[in-house]
A and B are shown apart, each in its own frame.
Chain A
Amino acid sequence: MSYRIAKNLDSALEALKEKDPATRIVAGATDLFLQEMPARLVDVSSIEELTAIEEIDNRLVIGAAATHARAAASELIKGRAAALVEACLQVGSPQVRNIGTLGGNVVNAAPAADAAVALVALGAKAVLVDSSGVWREEAVARLYSSYNCSALDGCTELLVRFLIEPCGQGEGSAFRRFAARKALALPLANAAARLKLENGMIASLSLVAAPVGPAPTRLIGTEAAILGKPAGEETWLLAAETAAEEVEVRGSLLRCSAAYRRHLVGILTADALRAAARRAAVSQSGSLT
């Protein structure tokens, strides 16, 4: 096995030039080490461009190799995309958060990966570059091809960073999950919301829940049902009901029944909306949280 630590983007792309199917990008390896390890690994976790967390031209720029721990501790993200902080804080355990990365969370393509769910709700875009140096931008939600399968070619294409439009005045976001224990447990379900309030009404929103489909899934029906409605308990209850009705979920022996998962999606959706609206209201009144 060869293990190469890329110092910069060029050397990483160089290593991927061969388009060798036995070569894989690795960051924290918290997902990869559970699978059969490929023969050649290119470690991208020390490339500066991939680890930075900054705000450029009024956009949040988060390196794909930023760890959950760093994202969770970032004041910048907390103020502009709180859902992501909440999601990263609940991944695994401190050890996993200290090395697991946002990019790995998305490319590993687990249907209910916590950070990925928050990223999709926030409308994050992924910036990708392939080994021949061609750059492209893609919505995170479109990086999934099927269950546990990324649309990204892990042998040739590098996820460099995420771009998020920060929550502005009147906007807020939140993330909620439910798991069988307080740490080290994949969620039975999770949900994230981003919304904008105008005069107490929901002016725009994005609602995501998982595991509903192969990718973090937008709850289109629920979004439509509550758009334009006042931010309040009645609306949240309607959202809970609509979401639970709307989703197609599966049950599993290891996690829970489909019926319970469906119910949880409703509860978590309402909880996320409630928290996002609270943040939106606070941001309107001036102070960012």
Chain B
Amino acid sequence: MPTGIVESPVKIDPRVAFQSPEVWAKVTGKAIYGGDLMLPGMLYGRILRSPHPHARIKKIDIKQASGLAGVRAVLTGSSIVQKPYGIVIDDELPLAEAVVRYIGDEVAAVAAVSYEQAAEAARLIRVEYEELPAVFDPAEALKKGAPQLHAKFPGNIAWERHLERGNCDQAFREADIVVENTFTVPPIHSTYLEPTVCLAVSDPYNGLILHTAVQSPDQVRTIVARVLDLPLSKVRVIGPVMGGGFGGRVYGNLKLYIIASLLAIRTGRPIKMQLTREEEFLVGRPLIGAELKLRMAVRSDGTILAREADIITDNGAYSAQAPWVSKTLSERNDSVYQFKAIKTKVRLVYTNKVPTGQYRAYGNQAANFATESLLDMAAAKLGFDPLEIRLKNCVRAGDVTVHGLQLKSCALADCLKAAAAEIGWHNRKEGRGYGISAAIHSSGSVVFDKNFRGAAALARLELDGRVSIFSGEQDYGQGAHATFTLIAARALGIPAELITIHTRDTLASPFSIGALGMRQTTIGGNAIRLAAEQLREKIVQTAADMVNEPVIFEGGSVKSASGQVIELPAIAFRYYSLTSGLTLVGEGKYVPAESAYDKSGYGNIAVTYSFAAHAAEVEVDKLTGEIIVHRIVAAHDSGRIINHLAALGQVYGGVTQGLGMSCFEGYLFEGGRVANASLADYRIPTSLDVPAIVPLFIEQDDPEGPYGAKGLGEIVQIPVLGAIANAIADTAGVRVTDLPITAEKVFLALSGWECEA
């Protein structure tokens, strides 16, 4: 039986292990989450959603709903000023006006004095629909004559990309073998524990304040201001503690925020809105589903030559981050091995289903599943050991990859070797299957906004001698605050206990692009390091002026050449008194070098890159197809680890989620209806299903990251999929190419039965 989390061979170094006091507030139930927030006079908002996958709205009658006791506002698309918006493509409206495009589409919104009255009023809204033909399968949606979702996107293609690097056709001609297969991945929800909730407050003087926990408050603020036509300075986002995000909440739930804000502006009262768990599944923007048709050209000596891909990603009804996700999904994984050429066609297709988005690694997980499966098929065909073929082809430090990524540091080969050694690759147990897989991921992506590549932070010496750090980066449970604390403590040379990190108020902190693209530690951490270093200089300068002699800052206090000790509160007070109220502030601006990133996307897209290799040991019961995952070894090159405690937590959680994607999770659709929109039917692994997870850190200094560190949060999830898929195929002798790999699918593959619908 799996034993769950085991003791890690990683020796936790107490100098790089810090637990933020916030953790205790959470586990003792004292942390304030969005659901806890209440304000006097607060109203509750509810949304009426479309019951049809595709329909024209003929008439909306709100008379009965508006007349219900306790109801303060009823909004429909035609009663508000509407502005199309989106994250990449402006294809959404705050409320559907003429057409609904999926089951769940927002049609009307209500504010009332109680949640129950709001829900009742929403039920009383009468909507007359004329049902339209709907399309659910992206392949069908691409056909001529298919129902069209958006007039601006004929053929239902929201976004596409055709890319060739090197000479792919020639590489295929030179190949000794070609392997090909089609892999499918369903939409997957990040199932954070806390359903999305917001409290919107509007007043004419302060403007709009949105209380909500989100990974990128500044981007939410910008979009909400734009859609509602408010001056940016009149919109503020304040975050309560966040109950998980996992990349699924970079933008939180924009539609919910916009509707809550509209209701707050209309009523002049605070509006609280919360998604139910069912709504989370319907409108919570799961990771995009995809179908990947892949071909790989390999030489008989095991050299990987080229990869050709035809990828269709299932957008659902609206786009959110899906274009970015489709791009990463179709591209990033190509930089794990030294491909000579690649050719990629990727199409993002509208269907009348749940709009999709992002989850932890921008679809790189799906690419890992597909490519790493295919690579094992190539290895098998050539009689190569899967480990050897990876070691032969994997990228190394100093390489420039097929997409132009410059690898300043890279310990991928060492990760592969370490994972293999720990799993017992050459010392296998009878009746067990073994699989290995490798991954690369951007550490500190700089291409989300070319005018905004880095981060800024402030470090302020308080009058009591403590230090406050202001940053726009977000901690949503992953431990960013603890890591930032360690970085600031190290730069200042003061104990971690003296530092407090403030990140959750857009009014107080510098703008940030947010917690995405593994930029928190690498980019945000660097800004905090620089801010702390500048504060340190200012402290030394002020102290030197105070005593009029040279000083050194050591062991948390300042000493002069003559032996005087000047404590931090005294230094803070001196500056405060000199300026009649100002405090010493260090500014940190970390702006990564402009990258040579051309129109085709060739070039460096991140500050640096993280690497990982995972190995899995599994067992398959041939009678039932049951899969027992015994162990997963997760070897990571995330540079020098800043906080061992947080890093271990990331690996345990990410591997568990990767297991969920591999063998458990995924949306099930009946037509356009989500058939498993509950945690009873959308099955994530329970603690009993989690195998022994063994994290390994191959620590090397990265030249760019703060104190040699690189990102870890997203990559932890990626190689799990390929490792498990390959381990199952290794012992079962059959390969399942559509996720999740369930007992039934393995059994059907083993028995050669036709799968019934």
Contacts and interface: CB of A to CB of B under 8 A. Distances in A.
Interface stretch (B407-415, B439-447, B704-712, B741-749): B741-749
B676 A254 contact: yes
Contacts of B685: 181
A37 interface: no
Contacts of A251: 756
Contacts of B742: 180
A259 B754 CA distance: 9
Given A253-B675, A257-B755, A180 B664 contact: yes
A181 B664 contact: yes
B668 interface: yes
B686 interface: yes
A182 B2 CA distance: 11
B302 to A, nearest CB: 38
Contact of B744 (A185, A254, A260): A260
Contacts of B664: 180-181
A257 B748 CA distance: 10
Interface in B726-757: 742-744, 747-748, 751, 753, 755-757
Contacts of B748: 257, 259-260
B753 A259 contact: yes
A183 interface: yes
Interface string A188-225: 10000000000000000000000000000000000000
User: What is the predominant secondary structure among interface residues of chain B facing chain A?
Assistant: loop
A182 B624 contact: no
A267 B688 contact: no
B756 A257 contact: yes
A139 interface: no
A267 B626 CA distance: 12
B689 A254 contact: no
A22 interface: no
Interface string B683-709: 101101100000000000000000000
A198 to B, nearest CB: 29
A109 B756 CA distance: 28
A263 B748 CA distance: 10
Contact of A180 (B675, B683, B757): B683
Contacts of A151: none
B683 A185 contact: yes
B697 to A, nearest CB: 29
A182 B683 CA distance: 11
A60 interface: no
A27 B757 CA distance: 38
A51 B664 CA distance: 37
Interface in B109-143: none
Nearest to A182: B688
* Most chain B Cβ neighbours within 10 Å, of A180, A185, A260, A264: A260
A15 B664 CA distance: 46
A131 B526 CA distance: 74
A256 B744 contact: yes
Chain A interface size, as a band, is 20 to 34
Contacts of B753: 259
A39 interface: no
A251 B744 CA distance: 12
B668 A258 contact: no
Interface residues of B, number: 25
B670 interface: yes
A264 B744 CA distance: 10
Interface in A80-94: 93
Contacts of A73: none
A260 B751 CA distance: 10
Contacts of A183: 686, 688-689
* Most chain A Cβ neighbours within 10 Å, of B680, B681, B685, B744: B744
A93 B742 CA distance: 21
Nearest to A180: B683
B626 A178 contact: yes
B683 A260 contact: no
B755 A254 contact: no
A93 B689 CA distance: 13
Nearest to B681: A254
Contacts of A180: 664, 683, 742-743
Contacts of B624: 178, 263-264, 267
B678 to A, nearest CB: 10
A182 B676 CA distance: 18
Contacts of B686: 93, 181-184
B744 A257 contact: yes
A254 B747 contact: no
Contacts of B747: 260, 263
A258 B626 CA distance: 17
B683 A181 contact: yes
A169 B425 CA distance: 49
Interface string B7-38: 00000000000000000000000000000000
Contacts of A258: 756
B193 interface: no
Contacts of A256: 744
Interface in B644-702: 664, 668, 670, 675-676, 680-681, 683, 685-686, 688-689
B593 interface: no
B657 to A, nearest CB: 14
Nearest to B751: A263
Given A181-B664, A185-B683, A267 B689 contact: no
Of all A-B residue pairs in the complex, the 9 with the closest CB atoms, nearest first, are A182-B688, A183-B686, A260-B744, A257-B756, A256-B744, A182-B689, A181-B689, A183-B688, A253-B675
Interface of B: 623-624, 626, 664, 668, 670, 675-676, 680-681, 683, 685-686, 688-689, 742-744, 747-748, 751, 753, 755-757
25 contacts: A178-B626, A178-B743, A180-B683, A180-B742, A180-B743, A181-B683, A181-B689, A182-B689, A183-B688, A184-B680, A184-B686, A185-B683, A188-B744, A253-B668, A254-B668, A254-B676, A257-B755, A257-B757, A259-B748, A259-B756, A260-B744, A260-B747, A263-B751, A267-B623, A267-B624
Given A180-B683, A253-B675, 17 more contacts: A178-B743, A181-B664, A181-B685, A182-B686, A182-B688, A182-B689, A183-B689, A188-B744, A254-B668, A254-B676, A257-B744, A257-B756, A258-B756, A259-B748, A259-B756, A260-B744, A264-B624
